[in-house]
Amino acid sequence: MNSTEQAAPLNPAPLNNAHGAVADLYHAYTTGLLMTIITRRGARAGEDFWFHVFRRQHLDMFLPGLEKLGLTHLPDAVAAAQYHYLSNKIGGAPVEYMYESDRKAWVRFTPPRWVYDGTALAAIPSEVSRALLRGWYGHNGEAMGNPRLGFVCTAQTMDGQSGLSGYFREYDHDLDPDERLIFSPGEEPPLFDPAAAPEPPAGDWPEARLRKAYRNYAMNFVKTSLSVAPALFGPAEAAYLGNVTGRLIGMQYYQQTARALDLGDTDTSPAAFATYLHAMADAQDDPIEVEADGDAILVRQRGWRLMRGQTNIPDAAFDAWNGLWQGALLAHNRFLVLEVLNRMDYGDDCFCWRIRERGPSQL
């Protein structure tokens, strides 16, 4: 094999620019929320949060994902590695897969790291990356009913190494809990050969499904994060951490997402922002209605695909998520107000926002 390693092919573009806008916004929110927790609550809080996010994702998605991707017939080490390759590749994360034997298979997440977007990578402590691995990779064997399956991490990006890499290995003996995830820095993975990498079953994964899965990958991180945070930090603190993150990310990504939606940047009216909310809701498959209310605009959203399937959704989840739209409005026109009139998490039949100009100060 040539010593020049070929990079993993990137995921195709999303189904349309609107899906890409949703994916970009939620991707940024996930990274931003982790950084908000680390900077405001400390590295240990970020570590705990990241562990629970990835453990929840593991419990919700791993075994069903093996079925959906047609991997259940494979040896466990190979199935686990192929799952992580395929699921992350579909989501747009640069990743590689290398088969070594039926009992040893590698994955490598190459730069740029998806989950630590842009310069955020420089602010993530190694302990937080280890928490990710403990939450998911070290639990695969137990989930698969194979006490001999473990994961060996050989490199971490934030330690200055060339990506996150490691291998699933089936040992000759049952593993103790502290053996399911071990670190062996310096072991080099084999070269990646894209021609030998797996692909999703073509009949079950047509292009349209793959492209929507790209959007859902980012949405699922936010769904899990907004479900985990209230249990770790309490509802009030989770609402604060999530809302301030949403405001920051909404402001920072408004122009980018509005351009992706083919919206102009000269109309700063309430109606123009309602058009933005309408387009973002459409791209998330949420039914939405817009109507005039005097000089204001009412926007009603009658679904919440982001939290679909979740029970007992905490108040903090909406308060955190709503920060995205509050922040976007600040970038659109800081003299407008986004008022919440109805909430589905309070038992109403829709979320309803009123967008209006600020009235004169009463102070």
The pLDDT tens digits of the residues spanning 40-85 come to: 999 999 999 999 999 999 999 999 999 999 999 999 999 999 999 9
pLDDT given for residue 361 in this prediction:
67
pLDDT given for residue 1 in this prediction:
38
pLDDT given for residue 362 in this prediction:
55
pLDDT given for residue 12 in this prediction:
39
| CA atoms within a 13 Å half-sphere pointing along the CA-CB vector of 362 | 2
Residues 229-249: tens digit of each pLDDT: 999 999 999 999 999 999 999
Residue (of 81, 218, 212) closest to 137 by Cα position = 81
Q: Across residues 204-212, what is the average pLDDT?
A: 79
Residue (of 206, 200, 211) closest to 67 by Cα position = 200
pLDDT of residue 16 exceeding 80:
no
Average pLDDT of the chain, as a whole number: 91
Separation of alpha carbons 196 and 97, rounded Å = 9
Tokens of residue 1, six digits: 């094999």
Instruction: Name, in order, each residue with C-beta under 8 angstroms of 166's C-beta and a sequence gap of 6 or more.
Output: 106, 107, 108, 133, 137, 151, 152, 153, 154, 155
Give helix 315-332 / helix 235-260 axis angle, nearest 10°: 40
pLDDT of residue 3 exceeding 90:
no
**What's this model's pTM, rounded to 2 decimal places?**
0.91
Q: How many Cβ atoms sit within 10 Å of the Cβ of residue 125?
A: 15
What domains, with CATH codes, occur in the chain? 17-208 (3.30.1380), 237-357 (3.30.1380.20)
Tokens of residue 6, six digits: 């070929």
Residues 244-280: tens digit of each pLDDT: 999 999 999 999 999 999 998 889 999 999 999 999 9
Separation of alpha carbons 37 and 120, rounded Å = 13
Return phi, psi of residue 349, to 5°: -85, 0
Separation of alpha carbons 347 and 76, rounded Å = 44
pLDDT given for residue 205 in this prediction:
79
pLDDT of residue 363 exceeding 70:
no
pLDDT given for residue 7 in this prediction:
38
Q: Across residues 13-39, what is the average pLDDT?
A: 88
